[in-house]
Amino acid sequence: MKDVYVIDLIQDFLEHIEIEKGRSLNTVRNYELYLNRFYEICSEDLDHELKPGEIDEEMLRKFRLKLNRLEDEKHNRLTPQTQAYYLIALRGFLKYLARREIKSLDPSLVDLPRTHRPQVTFLHYDEVQAMLDEIDLNTETGLRDRAIIELLFSGGLRVSELCNLNRDDINLERKEFVVRGKGSKDRPIFIDDSAASRVKDYLAVRHDSLPALFLNNSRNQGTTDTKGDYRRLTPRSIERIIEKYTKAAGITKHVTPHTLRHSFATDLLMNGADLRSVQSLLGHSNISTTQIYTHITDTHLKDVHKKYHSETN
């Protein structure tokens, strides 16, 4: 039987998750980075190509030790969360080998490090309103920025989903549309009357026929390319817009487009929405991802208890 080597199987696995699993190119690139690092660390003392049958618990221990000691150019070590990403990729690779009946380390032996639940930053409704109040609605740019912030907060969109929207994608009469999110999964987006109205206001002052819903107003306006992606706003541009109005409103929190997505989720939960519904609206494939918001709603429940539960005398 022809020998098989880990380096070739890694490439097979990456093609498998891209084509058969439908993972995004960003995910594939990240997995490639993680698995190539694993290969480099585990092969550094070998005088031959690493074979899958050589991956054992000692090799795993060595890899985890090296990961824990890795430093970037600023001498910062990898966080437990980043180390977990490496190990998730490795475990997925080993599961792939097991399904192909290629002898290697049992994937169940790859334990993930304990990680702290991420701190979620979110804005209260009055803080979002403070940002909106800072926008000059007498300009096309102001109308655009208002529509962007209201769509992010009203629909819970990821910034990449917002940037990819075209005019024809969004139904402003029904106030709902579909986006393609992570893993090429479609999900419905619902927006309120105010967000729909603001998008209408913005489109009403546009004098172009470009398909992108949101345009950069300073980029290549004289270009004749009809596709229009040269003027489509980028995620970084959206970040700058959010930063601008956050500072103008005097908000000291670190606010990003994703903060508005967090704010969307916490606003739903604080007003009584159940976790499963919020999971669906956010497009989370796993309920555990949505559970990062539970500590926020726990705080809210404490406020409810204090307000409505009578003290004993």
Q: Which residues are catalytic?
A: 158, 182, 258, 261, 284, 293
2-21 as b/e: b if 16+ CB within 10 A: eebebeebbeebbebbbeee
Q: Are 221 and 169 in contact (CB under 8 A)?
A: no
Q: In what order do the strands lie in the sheet with 186-190?
A: 170-171, 176-180, 186-190
Task: Rounding to the nearest 10 degrees, give the CA dihedral for residues 247, 251, 257, 260.
Answer: -150
d(CA 82, CA 67): 9
**Residues paired with 170 in a beta bridge:** 177
In 3D space, the residue among 61, 63, 66, 67 whose CA is nearest the CA of residue 79 turns out to be: 67
